[in-house]
Each structure stands twice: as structure tokens, then as C-alpha cells.
Amino acid sequence: MLVDIHNHILPGLDDGPKSIEEALLLATDAVENGITHIIATPHHHDGKYMNASSVVEEAVFNFNKELYERSIPLEILPGQETHIYNSLISDLNKDLLTLANSGKYILIELPINHIPTYTFDILFQIQLKGYIPIIVHPERNMVFRKDKQKLYDIVNKGSLVQVTASSLIGVNGRAIKRYIKYLVKHNIVHFISSDSHHHIKRPFLLKAAYQYVREKFSEGLVSYYSENAKHVINGTSFQPKRPISFKKGRD
Ligand SMILES: [Fe+2]
């Protein structure tokens, strides 16, 4: 069982596949990467796309049917990549989905050029309601890149972090790759996911990313990341590795 917790495989909902044919090509790419379960996470509330829970549920049902009819051995589960917004808390249990309907984990995207002032408060409120926020691709945020300690602080307060497979293996540049290596070494990373959008332009690359972790870090870390993703699908808790501060004399 290999789980991808962040991708845009559902056709016609966002900047992922434009047609069912494109989505099926992406599904084939997932299978070639050894993936068995995909939590589909279309953009939601990002200023461009709105994909409330009912829209995603219906699209997942339809796409699973297509996969079944073509004997593609892949199961899709519902999710969202929700861009942080001021009134997010009031939409929990309404328009917002927990990943795979786990009742536990929620993907949260931040802007790329700043961190809104209400971010800490919203992450805290999400946790007070019994959910665990997963911050997606912090490597794309300018503030996190400049100040790793800010991300440490968020993780230290109970949020989790997902980095993108392509960034880890250097597709998005050496600086970003190096940045993620720091995060990995400081136990700030909990998941590696594809964030795939297109079978050629933004494919899964999960196999290559896990292979990279195996070679540069350890087999144990590969298990840690893949087991964590299974916990998301099952809605079960796990004990994250203790984050290591970037400030000297503190941990
Ligand atoms: Fe995404």
C-alpha cells in the first residue's frame, strides 16, 4: 500500500487534468510509481478555485468508476487543498473535508509571498477542534525559506508538514532542494507527496523521491514517510519525530 496525500488528479476541477483522458494518463503514472491510494486534493478557496466537499465527493465517485471500468488498480479518496482564509474555522464540518474523510487531517496551503497574521491563530483553532493541519509545500513560501525557525515554531505547536516530491529531488532548483534537506534533518517533514497536476508537466515522481530518501538518508525514513501517509488515510494518530530547532542552544 502506497498513499499519495496531495495531488490534483480529478479532471476539470482546477489546474489539474482538463479532461478524463488526461486524468487517466495521470492515474497510469501513479500506478507506475507504485501508488495504490490517492487522496485527491483539488484547490479550494485559493482565489481562483472553489471545490466544496460535495463537489469533490461527486468527482471522486465518478473517477473511481472510470478507473474500475478500465481495470486501473487505484483507489481515489476525497480531500482538498484549502488555501488559508480568515473564516476557515466556521467552514469546518461544512464545505471543508478532512483528508480521506478521516475526521482528522486537513491540508492547508499558505500564500507564496507572506504568512497571513491570522495563520497561527487558525492553525491553533483547527487543533482545538480536534483536527491536525498539514502545511503543504512550505518550500514554496518566501518567508519560510528565509526563516526556517518560523516553520519549526508551527511544527512545534502541533502542525505537520508535507513537501513535494519534485522539489526534494531537485526539479525546482538546487536552493529548494537544499532547503528541504535542512527540513528533513531537523525533523520538520512528515510527508512526501506528489502535488501532481499533469502526466508530463507535473507528474507523480514519488518513486524517485522515496529512492532519493533511501540513498541520502535511510530506509527507516522512507518507512516513516510512507507509514505517516497511511495514518492519514486511516485517520489514526502517530508520534511525529521531535522537531529540532534551528536556533543554537535550543531544541
Ligand atoms: Fe497542490
What is the tens place of the pLDDT at every residue in 16-28?
999 999 999 999 9
Give Cβ neighbours of residue 102 (< 8 Å, ≥ 6 apart): 232, 233, 234, 235
Grid coordinates of 92: 469546518
Residue-wise pLDDT tens digits, 197-225:
999 999 999 999 999 999 999 999 999 99
Query: pLDDT grade, residue 109 (50/70/90)?
Result: very high
Q: Mean pLDDT over residues 109-129, rounded?
A: 97
Cα 238 to ligand 1 centroid, rounded to whole Å: 23
Question: What is the pLDDT, as a whole number, of residue 59?
Answer: 98
Find the 240 Cα to ligand 1 centroid distance in Å.
23
186 three-state secondary structure: coil
- Give the pLDDT mean for 147-176: 97
Which of the four pLDDT bands, split at 50, 70 and 90, describes residue 250?
low
* Cα 41 to ligand 1 centre (Å): 7
Mean pLDDT score, 53-77: 98
Residue 249: predicted pLDDT: 64
Query: Tell me, what's the pLDDT at 101?
Result: 96
- Is the predicted pLDDT of residue 244 greater than 90, yes or no? yes
| The dihedral sign for the CA sequence 181, 183, 186, 187 | negative
CA of 236 to the centre of ligand 1 (A): 23
Cα 249 to middle of ligand 1, angstroms: 36
Distance 11 CA to ligand 1 centre (A): 14
Give the start-to-end residue ranges of the domains of the chain. 3-234
Q: Which CATH class is domain 3-234?
A: alpha beta
Residue 247 Cα to ligand 1 middle (Å): 30
Determine the distance separating the centroid of ligand 1 and the alpha carbon of 250, expressed in angstroms: 33
Separation of alpha carbons 169 and 1, rounded Å? 22
CA of 29 to the centre of ligand 1 (A): 17
Dihedral sign, Cα of residue 174, residue 163, residue 194, residue 135: negative
| pLDDT exceeds 80 at position 251 | no
User: For all residues of the chain together, what is the average pLDDT?
Assistant: 96
Is residue 140 over pLDDT 90? yes
**CB–CB of 133/127 below 8 Å?**
yes
State residue 248's pLDDT score. Answer: 75
